[in-house]
Structure 1
Amino acid sequence: MTNAEWGEVDRYLVDTLVGDADSEVFQENSAAGLPAIDVSPAQGKFLHLIARSIGARRALEFGTLGGYSTLWLARAVGPEGRVVTFEYEPRHAEVARKNLDRKGVGERVDIRVGAALDNLPALAEEQPEPFDLVFIDADKVNNSNYVQWALRLTRPGSVLIIDNVVRHGAIVDPDPSEASARASRDVLELLAAEPRLDASAVQTVGEKGWDGFAYALVTG
């Protein structure tokens, strides 16, 4: 099958199972010049359902972009829930804030602008309640650092989801030249070695091409 056929299947799945996929968010992002690297509508709802399935009320996100995945998480945690999301680019955060406010969930979302690794110590000092779900979809080279921080900010039973870990199959190369592929191998090896995590990964195809995500349960 080709990417075009994968995309056709995705459109059928979205029409059948997702329905209103908030396409205007993508339009706003495009008009603002943001890169088209959001999760797909089917992936967004999948993330939303995972959060609801575990009863998540507190979610932590690495990589806000224009707020599309954030929107799905904010709906999942409900009116009393909270999403803390890190975004490096101020312009992206500005667009995300407008999108989230327009959709009526802005009060549930705390967007923290700047490098996540610079902002994480301040978050930890606040001694927040443990996060129930962590979604990692930011600069891939720091995925392992984000997982280590996630372990400090979660509890047994929390879930970590790391997006884009397959890299068009580049992870099978034991010494990949692409930094993101090397980082994906590193984070998968970390998930395997970390005794406080039990993890698996699934490769996916669709309108976003060939990739995949890792799913990890915090066990201790």
Structure 2
Amino acid sequence: MSDSEPSAPAYRYAAPDEWHEVDRYFTQSFVGEDDALIAARRSGAATTMPHAEVAANQGAFLGQLVTIAGAKRVLEFGTLAGYSTIWLARAAGEDGRVVTLELEPDNASIAEANFRAAGVAEHITMIVGPAAESAARLISDGAEPFDFVFIDADKPNNPAYLTAALELTRSGAVIVIDNVVRNGAVTDADSTDPRVQGVRKVVDEIAAHPELDATAFQTVGEKGWDGLIIARRR
């Protein structure tokens, strides 16, 4: 998550001890973070949005989705410290490529160091600047279509990122949008929170789009109560 989302309210990461314990249990059983991933996750504390990276089991889930989709070209909106980017790059494989968009130069510097430590720097292109502008340049430059898109940046701009993702993908591509439950606030049509309204608008656009099949699910864990949208182009 990045691209200057307003400071995350504390409730987003409040979670009962039991939720933490369950995440730790499954992470220890299945995930097995190596030293580079652990260091990348911890380095998130030094970014503009401390501790906002996905949980370890969620990073592994993203990697599984990339593998299942057979994705070799991955686009990420929001780099932060690069934790999720490493999962995506490893899943895309030796012949894969991840393009990740990050607003803040300081975050980008942290992420670049993490990519080198994880041994995936040569498979990642990071573009620094406002994500909507960076995506527009990819479109105007005729970038090769992406197979998988992970949208985890500022939520008010979710609709713009979806529009760009549709310009940059083709049939069969998978689009994942993070942080869509907002501690349950997503159901409040009258919310004055622009992040909630950004999610609600992108939900409406996905539901109405003739080329997209989608679902969403809630998650609970060390990151609190949230969830994902997973869409696929027909």
Instruction: Mark yes or no: TM-score above 0.5.
Output: yes
Q: Residue 192 of structure 2: SS of its match in structure 1?
A: coil
Q: Deviations over 1:110-165 (max 9, x none)?
A: 00000011122221122122100000000000001100110000011000000000
Aligned twin of 2:17 = 4
Aligned twin of 1:49 = 64
Q: Is the 8 A contact 1:34 1:92 kept in 2?
A: no
- TM-score, normalised via structure 1 length: 0.95
Greater CA drift, 23-32 or 115-124? 23-32
Matches within 5 A, 1:114-133: 114-133=129-148
Q: Deviations over 1:34-84 (max 9, x none)?
A: 511000000000000000011100000000000000000000111111100
**One-letter amino acid matched to 1:18:** V
CA drift at 1:175: 1.1
Q: Residue 200 of structure 1: SS of its match in structure 2?
A: strand
Q: Deviations over 1:164-200 (max 9, x none)?
A: 0000000111211211111111111111011111111
Greater CA drift, 31-40 or 100-109? 31-40
Greater CA drift, 201-210 or 180-189? 180-189
Greater CA drift, 119-128 or 67-76? 119-128
For 1:69 and 1:26, the matched residues in 2 are separated by 9
Q: Is the 8 A contact 1:141 1:183 kept in 2?
A: yes
Aligned twin of 1:188 = 203
Q: Which has the higher contact order (CA 8 A, sep 6+)?
A: 2
- TM-score, normalised via structure 2 length: 0.90
Answer yes or no: is 1:75 the counterpart of 2:90.
Answer: yes
Identical-residue share of aligned pairs (%): 48
Q: Residue 79 of structure 1: SS of its match in structure 2?
A: coil
Q: Residue 79 of structure 2: SS of its match in structure 1?
A: coil
Answer yes or no: is 1:176 the counterpart of 2:191.
Answer: yes
Match of 1:26 among 38, 41, 51: 41
For 1:167 and 1:211, the matched residues in 2 are separated by 6
Greater CA drift, 43-52 or 169-178? 169-178
| Structure 1, gaps ≥5 residues long | none
For 2:177 and 2:211, the matched residues in 1 are separated by 16
Q: Is the 8 A contact 1:59 1:82 kept in 2?
A: yes
Answer yes or no: is 1:161 the counterpart of 2:176.
Answer: yes
**One-letter amino acid matched to 2:177:** I
Q: Is the 8 A contact 2:44 2:52 kept in 1?
A: no
For 1:163 and 1:32, the matched residues in 2 are separated by 19
| Structure 2, gaps ≥5 residues long | 1-14
Q: CA RMSD in A?
A: 1.3
Report the number of matched residues: 218
- After superposition, the Cα gap between the structure-2 partners of 1:112 and 1:34, relative to the gap in structure 1 and judged at 3 Å, is same
For 1:20 and 1:188, the matched residues in 2 are separated by 32
